[in-house]
Amino acid sequence: MIFDYETLKIIWWAFVGVLIIGFALTDGFDFGVGMMLPFVGKTDAERRVLINSIGPTWEGNQTWFITAGGATFAAWPLVYATAFSGFYIALMVLLFSLFFRPVGFDYRSKVADPRWRNAWDWGLFVGGIVPPLICGVAFGNLLLGVPFHYDDTMRVEYTGNFFQLLNPFGLLAGLLSVAMLLTHGATFAMVKTEAEIAARVRKIAIYASLATLALFVIGGYWVARGIDGYSITSMPSANSAFMPLAKTVEITSGAWMDNYERWPETKAIPIAAIVALLLVAAFGAWRKARLAFICSGIAVAGIILTAATAMFPFIMPSSLDPRSSLTVWDAVSSQKTLGIMFWLVLFFLPLIILYTAWVYRVMRGKVTLKHIADNEHTAY
Residues 236-280: tens digit of each pLDDT? 999 999 999 999 999 999 899 999 999 999 999 999 999 999 999
Let me know if residue 153 belongs to a domain: yes
CB within 8 Å of 332: residues ≥ 6 apart = 8, 9, 12, 75, 76, 338
Q: How many domains does the chain have?
A: 1
230-260 burial string, b = 16+ CB within 10 Å, else e? bebeebeebeeeeebeebebeeeeebbbebb
Instruction: Answer whether residue 341 is part of any domain.
Output: yes
In a domain, 376, yes or no: no
Asked whether residue 331 is assigned to any structural domain, the reply reads: yes
In a domain, 378, yes or no: no
Q: What percent of the chain has pLDDT over 90?
A: 66
- Rounded to 10°, the helix 335-362/5-40 angle is 30
Give the sign of the dihedral formed by CA 16, CA 21, CA 24, CA 29: negative
Q: In the chain, pLDDT over 70 holds for what percent of residues?
A: 98
pLDDT of residue 327: 96
Q: How confident is the model at residue 140 (pLDDT cuts 50, 70, 90)?
A: very high
Q: What is the pLDDT of residue 157?
A: 87
Measured over all CA atoms, what is the biggest interatomic distance in the chain, rounded to whole angstroms? Answer: 67
In a domain, 247, yes or no: yes
Whether 139 contacts 177, CB under 8 Å: yes
Spatial neighbors of 27 by CB under 8 A, at least 6 apart, are 58, 61, 62, 64, 65
* Domain annotation covers residue 379: no
Which is it for the CA torsion 285, 289, 295, 296, positive or negative? Answer: positive
Q: Where is 232: in which H helix or E strand?
A: strand 228-234
C-alpha of 324 from chain center: 25
* 275 domain-assigned: yes
Query: At residue 287, what is the residue type?
Result: R
How large is the C-alpha radius of gyration of the chain?
21
Q: Which residues constitute the domain of residue 338? A: 5-371
pTM of the model as a whole: 0.93
pLDDT at 357: 87
Return the pLDDT at 376: 67
